[in-house]
Amino acid sequence: MRDAHPRERTVGMAWYASDAEGIGGRLREQPTDFRVEEVETVEAAPADSDVGDYAHLLVRATLHGWDTNDFAARLSDALGMSRERVSWAGTKDKHAVTTQLFSLQGVSADDVPDVNNADVEVVGRLGRALQFGDLAGNEFSIRVRDLACDTEAARDRVAAVTDDLTALVDGTRERARVGVPNYFGHQRFGSRRPVTHVVGLHVVRGEWREAVLAYCGDPADTEPEATQDARAIVDEEAASDDPDWQRAVDAMPGYLRYERSMLHRLAEGNGETEDVDEDARFRDALEAVPSNLQRLFVNAAQSYVFNRIVSERLERGLPLSHPVEGDVVCFADRSLDEDFAVPDTSREQRVTARRVDIMQKHCARGRAFVTAPLVGTETELGEGEPGDIEREVLAELDLSPADFSLPGAFDSTGTRRAVLVRTRLDATVDDEGATFDFALPKGSYATVVLREYLKTDPLEL
């Protein structure tokens, strides 16, 4: 195995699964270089259905250079309603052309606004809001430019990586597929300033002050100078015996609206008496952001723990494609096409010595998946060496499943996730770069596939 890039190691991604050289290069030189389209599963009623029965308008938006959260905010502003009434099935990256569904509560088809750099079409109506995960997966077409080697060498390297990743699928029914560790990609934690999991870890430990300051302060050298200066002021005020949070609000650029919301809450409380509980004040500040972002903090902490567990599994030489004694395996969700199958966590099987062989066969046939936990209050850890890894990672981070019993949107019961993701991949190399076409089940990251082929700084992804 090859060591991952240092930036990736900070978010728990310690290894590449392939030993072959990467081609280098850059993604997203142009938004059209990165195309994503949701594979939809939602069935809508006609757009003229009764609003009393179908309160949510379903629209399909093709977005050019829009972050999902920002587009949702733009829609809600244009419609004059709370952003909590805008829902979507999956979060997409800003630097791409993305096609995805949104549901709009209490909105008629005639009221859908025009938004710059977005093509929005009405699909129909739903009796409920879209929920996160209401999709089978995503199809990707991704162009890589400025390769670090010539065309012939790039073709050889792509082929060598593919061979390595095909071997990782070890024993599965279709050798045409490649497999990669099902890491949460770097962007899960913040592409240029990966601190979302740091905030989440503080939240889970009940360190509300540290959580707010990790999000609002702590400047990163990858940020614009004005942003770094504003975060430095936050750190200055935090270190003061009498912090002036309004100064921090005034310094924070307008485009950092979540930081401003948190700091504004703190500024409003500057005149309160000293006996006000500080934890309560900082928790209130953190709750100034939308509930989906509050959940994202804890989800990012869970994702970091998961990445650490998968990395340790790789380091110890435990397989990802088939189970060993002590593993927790989940059977595939039978409602989804095989190409987009994910674990059905209601159909869980603990792998004992007597059942290793049969469970390995189920995994080889694509009927089941080896999993690791996204830790929450209902998580039951594995046994044997897989369980040892899970417990050691949690102990290093001073966490336990019970810690995820938290107020409001921060609470999480946890779930399990496959440690390996498979895909059929078509790669072509020409004198202008390389193009990768593939599809992934929901929750898996295109950059986790591409990092194996590029082996470059994640900021280039």
At residue 277, the pLDDT reads: 85
pLDDT at 187 over 80: yes
Closest C-alpha to 184, from 70, 72, 276, 310: 310
Mean pLDDT within 291-301: 94
Checking if the pLDDT of 272 tops 60, the result is no
Q: Rounded to 5 degrees, what are φ and ψ at 452?
A: -65, -35
Percent of the chain residues past pLDDT 90, beyond the cut: 87
Rounded CA gap, 246 and 56, in Å? 39
Active site residues: 93
- Residue 270: is its pLDDT beyond 90? no
Is residue 173's pLDDT more than 80? Answer: no
- Is the pLDDT at 273 greater than 60? The verdict is no
CB atoms within 10 A of CB 357: 9
Q: 């300033």: which residue's tokens?
A: 193
Domains of the chain: 2-32+138-182+422-460 (3.30.2350.20), 42-133 (3.30.70.3160), 208-289 (1.10.1510), 296-418 (3.30.2350.20)
**375-389 average pLDDT score:** 97
Q: Write phi, then psi, for 366 (nearest 5 degrees).
A: 75, 15
pLDDT score, position 394: 98
pLDDT in tens, 428-455: 999 999 999 999 999 999 999 999 999 9
401 or 132, greater pLDDT: 401
Give the distance, in angstroms, between the CA of residue 78 and the centroid of all CA atoms in the same chain.
Answer: 27
335 — pLDDT class (breaks 50, 70, 90): confident
How far is the CA of 414 from the CAs of 4, 83, 190, in angstroms?
A: 27, 26, 22
> Of 442, 383, 445, 429, nearest to 145 (Cα)?
429
From the CB of residue 191, how many other CB atoms can be counted at a distance below 10 Å? 18
**Mean of the pLDDT values across residues 45-71?**
94
Mean pLDDT to the nearest integer, 147-154: 97
What angle, 0 to 180 degrees and rounded to 10, lies between the N-to-C axes of helices 208-216 and 278-286? Answer: 40
Write down the pLDDT at residue 271: 54
pLDDT at 168 over 60: yes
Residue 345 is predicted with a pLDDT of 94
Query: What is the pLDDT of the chain when averaged over all its residues?
Result: 94
* CB burial readout 255-266, b (16+ within 10 A) else e: ebebbbbbbbbb
Are 409 and 350 within 8 A, CB to CB? no
Res 1: pLDDT:
83
Q: What is the mean pLDDT of residues 276-300?
A: 92
Task: Identify how many contiguous H helices and E strands the chain contains and give both numbers.
Answer: 13, 16
- Mean pLDDT of all residues in 17-34: 93
pTM of the predicted protein model: 0.92
Residue 461 binned pLDDT confidence (cut-offs 50, 70, 90): confident
Of the listed ranges 267-281, 296-310, 359-373, the least confidently predicted one is: 267-281
Burial of 412-434, coded b for 16+ CB within 10 Å and e otherwise, reads bebbbbbbbbbbebebebeeebb
pLDDT over 90 (residue 174): no
- Looking at residue 436, its pLDDT comes to 98
**pLDDT tens column, 242-251:** 999 999 999 9
The pLDDT of residue 175: 53
What share of the chain in percent tops pLDDT 70? Answer: 97
For residue 30, what pLDDT is reported?
86
pLDDT in tens, 80-97: 999 899 999 998 888 899
Q: Quote the pLDDT of residue 95.
A: 85
Asked whether the predicted pLDDT for residue 460 surpasses 90, the reply is: no
Mean of pLDDT values over 29-40: 93
Which strand (E) or helix (H) includes residue 158? helix 151-168
407-425 pLDDT, tens digit each: 999 999 999 999 999 999 9
State whether residue 62 is helix, strand or coil: strand
